[in-house]
Structure 1
Amino acid sequence: MSLSVNGIVIDSRTLAEEIDHHRDVADPEIAAQRALVTRELLRQRARELKLLGETALGDISDEALVDALFARDVQVRRPTMDECRAYFAEHAAQFRQGDRVQASHILFALSGAVPLAATLARAQEALDAVLVEPALFEGLARRLSDCPSGREGGSLGMLMRGHSVAPEFELVLFSGDRLGIVPRLVNTRYGFHIVRIERRVKGHMPAFEAVAERIAAELYHQARQRALRHYVALLAGAADISGTAGPSFLQ
């Protein structure tokens, strides 16, 4: 069945192109459906409200579209200074500066020539093996890793916060105080990683005032994302959507 929103069909080519943007998640097709249906619901609402004048919807970014709709339909509250201070206290480690981590990884890269499920299965099998016998890590890295670091047993050396090209990877490295093999695969746009953390060097804490603006922006972003999910769910509840995995796929 074709994917459609209120009678507007989203063709298979558009879906296939969108799937390519979600190769780093467990189910790229569901993620692509979610993105396309969300975009179409927002565009239809913008047409209904005549918000954009003569501007073609294909010429406006998703962010600008949400801005226009929120200005009309949704108010997102800015965080208070007390809320920012509470967040700073609860997430202190996130704001330390100069943190360094010595780590290694085994990368199972995503490839259009190999089914995602097959790559995921290989990665999970290797992770299960090193969780049982950590001494296997370097050998598996040399044999299996798709990263040049595999030649060095997966070693990435000493990494500083803010220097990683993959935010998801960095989040795992600098969250908490764990050492050893991370007990789950780390998904990034590059593929699936088995990560081992060998050493941590803590930096220093900045004053709250130095990061207050950054915290306020992050809390506002989180509130805006929650508001967007709720808004899209309301639009979806009043829409005729077919060809998806079910009504809960937008949640």
Structure 2
Amino acid sequence: MSLRVNGIVIDARRVADEIDQHQDAADPEVAAQHALVSRELLRQRAFDLRLFNENDAMGASDDAIVDALFSRDVHVHRPTEAECRAYFHEHAGQFRVGDRVQASHILFAMSATVPLSTTLERAQLALNTVLANPDAFESVAQAMSDCPSGRAGGSLGMLARGSGAPEFELVLFCGDRLGVVPRLVNTRYGFHVVRIERRVKGHMPRFERVAGRIAAQLYEQARARALRHYVALLAGAAEICGANDDDGPLRMQ
């Protein structure tokens, strides 16, 4: 069965092209289907409301379509100063300046020629091994890591904020934990087994210096939640059939 949204077909080639954007998902193909269905629902809604004509709706960017729909249908809450201050105090570690972490990792890189499940299985095996025997970290890194750092036992040296992938840094700079992180860290590069060896704390800036960044971050989080809810409402009123769904319409999350 083809992937269809209210009778509009999303062909397999588009799904295949989209999969590359979702390699860090548990099921990249389903994630790609959901993304394409979401975009099609939003495009159709914009056309139905005559916010764009058909040609413009086809050529408009995703952001332009969402902006047009939100200006008509959705109010996104803008955070107050009190909410921003509360976030600042509750997540102080995100805003310290000069934090550094000495860390090592074992990387299991994504590959178009290796099934995701195989890569995940190897990564989990390595994690289980070093959790049971932390002294084995260097030898496991040398034997299994897909990163050149594996030759040095996985050592990444002393890292500052902004030097790595954001999803990797969320783990490195969150909290005060030392030792092997007890779960795999998933980034755009693959799965990582991570060990944190030392922390050097920086200093806290004044709230006023980061207030704008916090407000923008909280607004984007609220906008993302509103968008998920909006798409779910559209999906509930739509006829959606998915290529990987043997039991009926593709379920939107």
Q: Does 1:221 align with 2:223?
A: no
Deviation of 1:61 after TM superposition, in Å, equals 1.6
Residue 76 of structure 1 is matched in structure 2 by: 76
**CA shift in 2, pair 1:196/1:142, >3 Å:** same
> Does the residue aligned with 1:56 lie in a helix, a strand or coil?
helix
Deviations 1:195-250 (A, max 9, x none): 00000000000000011001100110111011101100110010001115476842
Cα distance in 2, alignment partners of residues 48 and 33 from structure 1: 22
> Does the residue aligned with 1:239 lie in a helix, a strand or coil?
coil
Residue 67 of structure 1 is matched in structure 2 by: 67
Deviation of 1:163 after TM superposition, in Å, equals 1.7
Deviations 1:110-164 (A, max 9, x none): 1101111111111111111111011111011111111110110000000001221
One-letter identity of the residue aligned with 1:159: L
**CA shift in 2, pair 1:54/1:232, >3 Å:** closer
Cα distance in 2, alignment partners of residues 102 and 96 from structure 1: 16
TM-score, reference length from structure 2: 0.95
Residue 195 of structure 1 is matched in structure 2 by: 194
Cα distance in 1, alignment partners of residues 25 and 7 from structure 2: 28
TM-score, reference length from structure 1: 0.96
Deviations 1:68-95 (A, max 9, x none): 1101111112111111111111111111
Equivalent position to 1:250, from 246, 249, 252: 252
Unaligned runs of 5+ in 2: none
Residue 52 of structure 1 is matched in structure 2 by: 52
1:152-167 aligned within 5 A:
152-164=152-164, 166-167=165-166
Count of residues in Structure 1 that have an aligned counterpart in Structure 2? 250
Cα distance in 2, alignment partners of residues 104 and 250 from structure 1: 38
One-letter identity of the residue aligned with 2:118: A
Cα distance in 1, alignment partners of residues 196 and 80 from structure 2: 36
Instruction: Report the aligned-residue RMSD.
Output: 1.4
Residue 102 of structure 2 is matched in structure 1 by: 102
Cα distance in 2, alignment partners of residues 191 and 163 from structure 1: 17
Residue 180 of structure 1 is matched in structure 2 by: 179
Residue 142 of structure 1 is matched in structure 2 by: 142
> Does the residue aligned with 2:107 lie in a helix, a strand or coil?
strand
CA contact (8 A) 2:47 2:54 kept: no
One-letter identity of the residue aligned with 1:212: A
Deviation of 1:40 after TM superposition, in Å, equals 0.5
CA contact (8 A) 1:30 1:249 kept: no
> Does the residue aligned with 1:163 lie in a helix, a strand or coil?
coil
Deviations 1:19-47 (A, max 9, x none): 11111121111211110110000000011
One-letter identity of the residue aligned with 1:136: A
Cα distance in 2, alignment partners of residues 50 and 162 from structure 1: 43
Deviation of 1:55 after TM superposition, in Å, equals 5.1
Unaligned runs of 5+ in 1: none
CA contact (8 A) 2:105 2:154 kept: yes
Deviation of 1:60 after TM superposition, in Å, equals 1.9
Residue 112 of structure 2 is matched in structure 1 by: 112
Cα distance in 1, alignment partners of residues 173 and 89 from structure 2: 17
Q: Does 1:232 align with 2:239?
A: no
